[in-house]
Amino acid sequence: MSATVVLLGGYVLLLALGALGVERLGRVSTSPRTSRVLAGHRRAVGEQDAAAAGADPSHWPHTDSRALHEVIARVVAVAALVLALVVLLVHHSAADVAVLLVPLVVAVAVLTRLMRARRG
């Protein structure tokens, strides 16, 4: 077992968990009605004044935020999976395969979860 395999296995795990974190950020509400920043503004100027100023919820600029975060998370998860497979092709002794098996399974599980998240 080489140090390269351990290091890259840890990096694959980090990428997979990072993909889950990016996907989680995409689920944060971007509604102007629930935004803490805009809530303070609405309290200061009043709800009617905020509506008169053009605070229409349909024109909120972050409506595609969830889709963007999902795509970024999928790209990161695919990168983790490809990295794990390439390292597995280069270092294929029994000890190296045993070390890379966990990061590879985690990367596949994360990618599967991310691919099903949009459909469900």
The closest of 89, 81, 90 to 112, measured between CA atoms, is 81
In the predicted model, is pLDDT for residue 107 greater than 90?
yes
- Which tens digits make up the pLDDT trace of 32-55? 566 555 555 555 555 555 555 555
Q: What is the pLDDT of residue 12?
A: 94
Per-residue model confidence as pLDDT tens digits over 60-102: 555 677 888 899 999 999 999 999 999 999 988 999 999 999 9
Is pLDDT larger for residue 116 or for residue 59? 116
pLDDT band (50, 70, 90) for residue 1? confident
Q: What is the pLDDT at residue 48? A: 55
pLDDT at 111: 92
Vertex 34 angle, CA 28 and 29, to 5°:
15
Structural domain spans, the chain? 3-119
Please report the pLDDT score of residue 25 as a whole number. Answer: 86
Instruction: Establish how many alpha carbons lie within 13 A of residue 30's alpha carbon, considering only the half-sphere containing its beta carbon.
Output: 16
Tokens of 57: 């919820």
Instruction: State how far the Cα of 60 lies from the Cα of 64, in Å rounded to an integer.
Output: 10
**Whether the Cβ atoms of residue 99 and residue 6 lie closer than 8 Å to each other:** yes
User: What local confidence, expressed as pLDDT, does residue 46 receive?
Assistant: 55
